Structures are given as structure tokens and as C-alpha cells.
A and B are shown apart, each in its own frame.
Chain A
Amino acid sequence: MLQPHCQSDQHQFSRRRWLGTAATGTAAAALPLFDPAVHATLLQRSAKQVLFIWLDGGISQLESWDPKPNTEFGGPFRAISTSVPGIHLSELLPQTAQQMQHLAIVRSLCTQDNAHSSGVDRIQRGDPQDRGVVYPYFGSAVTKLLGPNASGLPPYVWIKPLSGGFMHKDAGFLGPQYGSLAFGDGKPPQNLLQHADVSDRFLQERMDIRAFADRQYARGRPAASTAANGFVYSMGLELMQRRQLFDESTFSSADVQRYGTHDLGRHMLLARRMLEAGVQFVKVNSYGWDTHGDNFNGSLSLVRRFDQPFAALISDLAASGLLDQVLVIAMSEFGRTPRVNGHLGRDHWPEAWSLCMAGAGVRRGIAVGSTSDQGTWVTSEPYDIGHMFHTWFTALGINSREVAWDNHGQPLPIAHEHCHPVAELLV
């Protein structure tokens, strides 16, 4: 809602204002005490997890989930049948086609923003109504709403190419501690590896001495500070002790072959291990999907390299039973135009595009929604990203219409109030 004289590029309230003076860093509000009684309660909490695969740039729905072979804009590729009769995918997803019985495809997405710079943010924040607050990304929102699980691991992990570190931006008004811990190229954050001079025994002794000192200090004081500090040290130790999780040399060669040795393959395999270890929300980023030029050769390369690890991962999660508690989402910020441009590319297309989901709370082996013969518009009920947020929260056991953020006493919807959960996607 930019007005001619209002040149603010971010019309945002200070989140400290909105969340009150008992503000974002305060330990007690954000982090649990780590004592046995509380621990037991945590074990009873939701064990739901999320795997969020972000294909940055816009995967072409016509070269993946919603193929239209031999039509004006259908492109050079064929469609293939899948393990679910009646549902076809692009020939570029041969292995995923064999996992169709676990998947739910949505073909009727119709969203507002066709620009990357704003679109990525809007989609990942659920494109809420503009109230002048910065909504959290889906991962930050989920980890806040579900609360910590019993794993002791960081709740929101982001596996991505290039750099890693502690990413606060995602968290919006929830505060920096709800940001993600990014594993750049799958590598753990700085200082994760135990110092060479410190043996496991000494590490434990040091932690014991630290804990003794904290018990002494906490006598006669409120527990908030020692609890918060103890929590991050425990989490640090937990991460250090689980470092084989992200030590690529411990991946089985069979797995490495199945997932692929390329970046996305390795990262998806790491994601599986994180999920198995109990990380609550794992986001995997793949970049380079913005095929404005050479879209078809590009898709040959890109989609195949998504297909291989995605299919392997779905298959593995299903086999282990984890798929019942992990919600899997694979998507971009928009789709690509049916019209082929002069560079033999496709451009941005939020009007009619697709995503794929699977797992906790989601019906299996379905394709929801349809597009016109040429793929130019949605012919069934169009869904905005708000509908998806409602659906995903519901699948995770969160009532998306009743649960709200507490905005300094004013409730804020967790998903766009003009949207609703999509019943046909939910069990």
C-alpha cells in the first residue's frame, strides 16, 4: 500500500514494540527449562516435522508436475504415466513418477507476485495482509507454533549451497532466535567441530564443571539466565555429538549413489539424516531454476537432478514410516510461462502453476486442481499461497483459523484470513 508521498520502503513497526518489552531475547519466553519433568512433557508434544524443498527461481510446471505434450506451448518433452493411473508427469521426473502413490500435486496455484525479489519473501511468509509487521517464514512459524521437540537439536535447519551460519532474517517479528541454522553446502556452522586438543572425556568434564558453576550461581536467583545459557550449551553439545549427521564420509555409498553426487543430491541426503535425527524443520534450497533462456535443456539438467534425490527421499521416508510424521513440500515462488520466448526460455508465471506435497496429514496419490489445455489459466478453484499455509498448518495439527500470533494483545492470523485449508488435500 504505497502512497505517492510515502516513500518508506519498509513500512514496519519495531518488533520490540509489538511484542512488548518482555522482548525477543528473553530466555524464559522463548526457551524451555531443561529439567526432567519438562523433558517428559516435551516428549508428548507434537512429533511432526517438515521438509521444505525450495527450488529458487521457478521450476517450470510444464516440464514437471503439469505436462501438456503436443500442445502449442507444451515444449519438446513427453509425459509419462506414474504409479497412480490417470496421473501423468513430465518425462523429466521418471523416478518421482514411481513414487506418485505417496504424493499430492497441486496444479491450480494462482498467486500475485511475478518478481523474485518480492515473490520469494511473500510466498515463504504466506503472503499475509499488510499490517506493517514482518511475518516469519514458514519454517520460523512452524517451529514457534509446534514448540521444541525432544531431539535437542536446533529446530530449524537450512541446507543450502554457498554460505551458512545463523540466519535471522527468516524469523520476522518472532525474533532472531527463530531464525534458521544454515549449513552452507551441507557444512556445519563455524566452531561446530570439537577442538583437536579437547577429548570427548574432557569435553564432558568441562560441561559438568560449567553446570556445577551454573547451579551455584542460580541459587537465590531467577532461573531464566542459567536456563537459557544451559540450553544453548546443551544444543551445542548435542550438535557436536551428532556431527556424524553431517559428516559426508559417513554417508553410505549406496545412498550416495541413489541420491546423486551433485549438490542437491548430497543436500537431500543430509536432509533425510536431519529428519531422522529429529530436526523439526529442514529447508533445502536449490538455486538456478530461473530458466528465462534455454529452458528446455536447462530443465533436462535441473529437473532430472531434482527427480533423483526427491524420489529417493520419498521412498526412504515411506519405507521407514517417517513419512507419516514428516510433511514434505517442494515448490518455487511461481511457475513459468506457457509462451516460449526468443531465448527458448519461459518467463515468470504466477497465474497457473504447481507444487508437490506429501506426508503428514496429506492425502496420497492425488493431483488436485487443473489448468486449461495450454496451461494458461487455472480452470478449477484457484489457490493462493494462503490456502497452502492453511492446509499445511492443518496437516501439522495446528488449527490455522483459531491459532493466532499475539501481537501485543492483538491477534494476527497465522495464515491469510481470506483463504482456507484445502479439504481435498487433507486426510
Chain B
Amino acid sequence: MFRLQHHSAPCFARPLRLLRVVLLLLFVWFRPIVIVTADDLAQRIDSLLQQSLAVAHVAPGPVSSDAEFCRRVTLDLAGRIPTVAELSKFLSDPDPQRRVVLVDRLLDSPEHSRRMADLFHVMLMERRGDLPEWTLFLRTSFAQQKPWDQLVREILDPQEAPEQIRGAAWFITRRLEKVGQQETDYPGLTRDIGRLFLGCDLQCAQCHDHLTISDYRQIEFQGLYTVYRNTSIRTDVKFPAVAEKPLTKKTDFMSVFDKQPLLVGPRVPFGVEQEIPQFESGQEFAVAPDRAKNFPGVPKFRGLQLIAQSLPAATNRRFAENLANRLWFVMFGSGLVNPLDQLHDDNPATHPELLSAVGDAVTAAGFRLRPVLREMALSDAYQRSSCGAAAEAVLYQYGREKRLSAEQLLASVLTACGAGAPTAIADAASEAEQKRADAFVKAFGNIPGEPELEFSPSLKAALFVLNDPLMQEQIQPRGGNLAERLAISSDDTAVADELYRAVLSRVPEAEEVRFVCEYLAQRREIRQQAISNLIWGLLASTEFCLNH
């Protein structure tokens, strides 16, 4: 869906100027469309955004300070704020390439894979709970830098082996679990496949062509639904696994409005319908079912396999653009298409060429995320400060505030309040650590099924920060942690400096140093509690709980 045009200048000598004019006209007439690879995505982003700002007659805002950038990119790529040591090292680094070096260091760290696993867990499961096999699948996938199309393939057609990837089945099985006395939510599962992997919320196309979106036709939903309504949770194994019944006939459906009966076989939305092969009775299975063991068998013709082969394909433009859009959202705080699951012709991107460019880059990178994230992080646009933005600022003129996930908040609290080293990443959390993680999710996460997109401060979260013992214990002095280090020091100015570096990842302004010093000066006898109060106040501030 993109055109390729080459221009070559003819080698005439004499009417060169005329030729140049002609060429210029031709150039303008046939605007070159360049294939963007991952390597030049950053430049492409900046030139396109530069153009759009120019059209709006605004100049881009200032570049972020080093402190701003360090905090932002560490949160985005490693899932936490920088430590005092990391920040200080970065701020005092004379290398003009220090930002590039930082980005590369973060991308190579094990914390990056962990951050990606957490990010996609929230994106794909939307707070429907946790399962060790699923967690293992995500973590090992990102540790191996598994390309997105392969990861999606493993989700769409989950396999029992190797054991590391079998947890991918949970994406489907969790959604097949019955809630109370309600029927299995096949429509919900179908909808989520469309939303999360193609950026298309086909829910309203279930019963009729979408009322307002012309390309979401009922057939897009029903063709996908044909596959998923044949699935069920396997009961013969203890790990999550999907069973498929043989897919033998098309789905009949009709619009609630025009009542015209139609048929559709298995079909990726916006793709081609597949013929259903007919087998003789008894010949439908590649592996026969075993009733005694409750084994459902494996059909020869499988809808899941079909979807897994066709949906996450480089040729499927929506698949690429969905990933592009979602990665863009993670880094820039706004989708190029909003909402993230409404990619369609009547909902154009804010910057269509940009979406195209990122889509190209994603495809060219073979769906590897790291190169794309790297380019985004290195763009000028990403590095723009969010400070100075007025409410009416033009998109991307300034950096944007972004919500922090419960996982990022927990890691950041631990980093800020801890002994100075980044929290070690253990594969298996202890029971206490799991409890703590669950408490943070409960306080800061959305309700199941609600994507976490905007900053939504809640009373529940405020009360958690105000009163929960987990927060209190972070700000009590112990074991070389921040509270203890600050309480021991008698130099109030140094305390202010370390406090701000640790919690807000920046150097305090003069006014802030004064504030801290005055506060401490009046509380000499209760210095330790005063320190804890200061730490709390900064932890509870808006600056801490956002990525800005």
C-alpha cells in the first residue's frame, strides 16, 4: 500500500537550469515517498513533526533538560526512575552523545525486557489477573528480543511446547473463563483480538455494519468470530491450553437492521475468507481425541492456525500500524490514532504520514521493538520538554505528561526510598514482594477490562499513599535507605539536594532548597520524622506519579 518512485536526473549538459526547473516541478508534482527503515525513523519523525508545527505557526518547545530526559527515558525503557548515582553520573557526563549512550544502555539492560513484559501484560490482559506461565512467556519473550509478530503468533495459536511459551494460551483461556452464570464470552474474545492486534474495535459490528465507521462491517467481526466460537479451555491439562473443535461450517449471520442472511467462513478482518476443507466423517482430526483422558484432539484444519498465519503478517498493514500506534503511545503519550483501537479510514491519524512512517519502520525492523523504540527515543520530538506547555499547545510542540503504571510506581518508590542501588530483578517474587506488588496494582490499577491510558488520580490511590503501611515502611529509616541517609546527615542543603535527586530525579531549585532547610531547621528534635514527612510529600506529589 505504499508506492515507490525513483527519480534519476538525466545527464544533459546544456539546458541544465531549465532541466532543474523541470525536475523541481516534477519533484513537487510527484512527491517522493521514501521507505523508512528503522535507522532513519528519528529523522523522519522530526521532519514530519517540524512540518506540522510549521503549518500551525508555532515553534517547537525547548529541549528537555538532562534531568528531565534521564528520568523520562529511564521510566519508559527500564520501568523506573533513575537512582541518584545514575542521575548524577548522567548530569556530570561531558560526552555530547550521552543521551544516545543512555538509551542504548537502558535498552540492553535486563530491566528493559522486564519493563516490556510488564507493559504488554497490562496492555494485553488489562488487569484480568496474573498467572505464572503467562508471566514467564512474556518475560522470556522480551529477554530473547522476540519480534512482535512471532509473539503474537504464539498468542494466537498457542503451543504446549516449548514450556516457556505455553503460557501464551492464557490470553485466550482467561477470556474464555465463564463469569458466574453468563455464557462464555466469545464475542468479547473476538473483539479483543481485533482491538489489541489490529487496532480495530469491532464490537459494534457484531450485530450490524458499524453505524458510523464504514470499514467496520459485520463480516469483519463474524469472520473472526467463526474461529473463536470453536475454542474452549482444555480441561485435561493443568497449564493454560486451548482446545478447538473441528471447524466444519460457516457462520450464518444477519444484520439486525436489514435481516439479510449471510454466511462467512474463517477470516481475518479486512482479509480474505478461507475455504473450509471438508473431511470425511472421522477424518477431521490430525490427532484423535481421547475421551477417557478428556483430550479434545487436534483438528486437521484449525482456525487458530489460520489466524496466526495471516493476521500477524508483514503484509497486513493494520497489524503493523497497530503496533506502531501503540509504541508511539507508550513513548509520546498520545496515539497517532485515538482511541488506540479505532484505526480506520474515518478516524484518520493526527499525522497520517507519520503513522505510515512508523508502520514502515516497524515492518522493516522485522517487528523487533528495540530498534523502533531506540529511534523514537533519539528523536528531537521525544526529547522535548513538557515544561512551558500551555493548555492550548499544539500536539508535539511540547513533551506530554504520561500515566505511570502501578509497576512503574512501585519500582520508582523502591528506587527512590531504597539504599541506592536499583532494585534487583528476581525471577520469582517472594510472598511479601508479591503482596506488595498486588497492593500497588489494587491501588493504582484500573478495574479489569479498562485499558490504562490517561492519568486518573483516584481516591483509592490517595488513601493508599496517605495511610497504607507499605508506603509508611518505605519512609522509615532502615538499612541505609534514603530516610536513614538523610536523617544521619546534618547538612540541610545536602539533604535537600539528595532528597530531590532521589525522589524527583532532579536538582532542587533555590526556592526548594530554602523550603527544605527552613522546614528542617524548625524541627531539629524530630528530625527523623521531619525527613520522613519530606520524603512523603514528594512521593505524593504529582511530579512523582507522572512521567513528564
Contacts and interface: CB of A to CB of B under 8 A. Distances in A.
A328 interface: no
Nearest to B207: A6
A168 interface: yes
B230 interface: no
A222 interface: yes
B387 A221 contact: yes
B297 interface: no
Contacts of B206: 6, 8, 11
29 contacts: A5-B253, A6-B256, A8-B206, A9-B185, A14-B201, A23-B453, A23-B454, A25-B456, A176-B447, A181-B459, A189-B459, A190-B463, A191-B467, A194-B466, A206-B536, A206-B540, A207-B537, A209-B538, A213-B538, A213-B540, A214-B541, A220-B389, A222-B389, A230-B542, A232-B459, A232-B462, A233-B540, A239-B459, A240-B466
Contact of B533 (A14, A195, A202, A222): A202
A5 B338 CA distance: 31
Contact of A224 (B341, B388, B391, B450): B391
A210 B339 contact: no
- The interface size bin for chain A is 35 or more
Contacts of B467: 191-195, 198, 240
Given A6-B256, A23-B453, A236 B543 contact: no
Contacts of B515: 212
A209 B500 CA distance: 13
Contact of B537 (A181, A209, A232, A237): A209
A189 B182 contact: no
Contact of A16 (B339, B401, B469, B548): B339
A226 B543 CA distance: 8
B254 interface: yes
B458 to A, nearest CB: 6
Interface of B: 182-183, 185, 187, 201, 203-204, 206-207, 252-254, 256, 261, 338-339, 341-342, 386-391, 401, 446-447, 450, 453-464, 466-469, 472, 476, 504, 509, 511-512, 515, 519, 529, 533-534, 536-538, 540-543, 545-546, 548
A189 B458 CA distance: 13
A220 B387 contact: yes
A124 B341 CA distance: 31
Contacts of B511: 216
Given A224-B391, A225-B455, A216 B463 contact: no
Given A212-B515, A228-B457, A235-B462, A21 B339 contact: yes
B455 A209 contact: no
A217 B543 contact: yes
A27 B457 CA distance: 8
A220 B388 contact: yes
A132 B256 CA distance: 13
Contacts of A21: 338-339
A195 B469 contact: yes
A202 B542 CA distance: 20
A205 B516 CA distance: 12
B216 to A, nearest CB: 11
A27 B450 contact: no
A191 B458 contact: no
A226 to B, nearest CB: 5
Contacts of A192: 463, 467
A222 B397 CA distance: 14
A229 interface: yes
Nearest to A154: B459
A223 B390 CA distance: 9
Interface of A: 1, 3, 5-9, 11-14, 16-17, 21, 23-27, 132, 154, 165-166, 168, 176-177, 181, 189-195, 197-198, 202-203, 205-210, 212-214, 216-218, 220-226, 228-233, 235-237, 239-240
Contacts, number: 178
B457 A5 contact: no
Identify which of A191, A220, A231, A237 gathers the most chain B CB atoms within 10 Å of its CB.
A191
Contact of B460 (A13, A166, A231): A166
A27 B455 contact: yes
Contacts of B457: 27, 228-229, 231-232
Contacts of A223: 391
A23 B446 CA distance: 14
B204 A177 contact: no
A100 B435 CA distance: 53
A202 to B, nearest CB: 6
Contacts of B204: 13, 132
Given A13-B203, A181-B459, A208 B387 contact: no
Nearest to B187: A8
B391 A236 contact: no
A205 to B, nearest CB: 5
B72 to A, nearest CB: 14
A225 B389 CA distance: 13
B263 to A, nearest CB: 11
A206 B203 contact: no
Given A1-B256, A9-B183, A17 B534 contact: no
A226 B401 CA distance: 11
Contacts of A9: 182-183, 185, 187
Nearest to A6: B207
Nearest to A197: B472
Given A166-B460, A195-B469, A224-B391, A176 B450 contact: yes
A209 B459 contact: no
Contacts of A217: 541-543
B389 to A, nearest CB: 6
Contact of A25 (B338, B388, B453, B512): B453
Nearest to B341: A14
A226 B542 contact: yes
A117 B409 CA distance: 39
Contacts of B388: 220-221
Contacts of B207: 3, 6, 8, 11
Given A1-B256, A195-B469, A236 B463 contact: yes
Given A8-B207, A216-B512, A232-B459, A206 B537 contact: yes
Given A25-B456, A132-B204, A202-B533, A209 B519 contact: yes
Contacts of B541: 210, 213-214, 217
Given A176-B456, A193-B467, 16 more contacts: A3-B254, A11-B206, A14-B203, A24-B454, A24-B456, A25-B454, A26-B454, A165-B460, A166-B458, A176-B446, A189-B460, A190-B460, A190-B464, A213-B504, A225-B455, A229-B457
Contact of A7 (B187, B450, B543, B548): B187
Contacts of B256: 1, 3, 6
A177 B450 CA distance: 13
A281 B509 CA distance: 44
CB-CB nearest 3 A-B residue pairs: A209-B537, A25-B456, A213-B541
A213 B543 contact: yes
A17 B548 CA distance: 26
A210 B389 CA distance: 22
Contacts of B185: 9
A168 B447 contact: yes
Given A5-B254, A194-B467, A209 B533 contact: yes
A197 B512 CA distance: 26
A209 B536 contact: yes
Contacts of A12: 203
A6 B322 CA distance: 28
Contacts of B342: 17
Given A7-B187, A212-B537, A222-B390, A229 B203 contact: no
A74 B546 CA distance: 64
B65 to A, nearest CB: 13
Contacts of A191: 460, 463-464, 466-468
B397 to A, nearest CB: 13
Contacts of B534: 209
Given A5-B252, A25-B453, A229-B545, A236 B462 contact: yes
A183 to B, nearest CB: 13
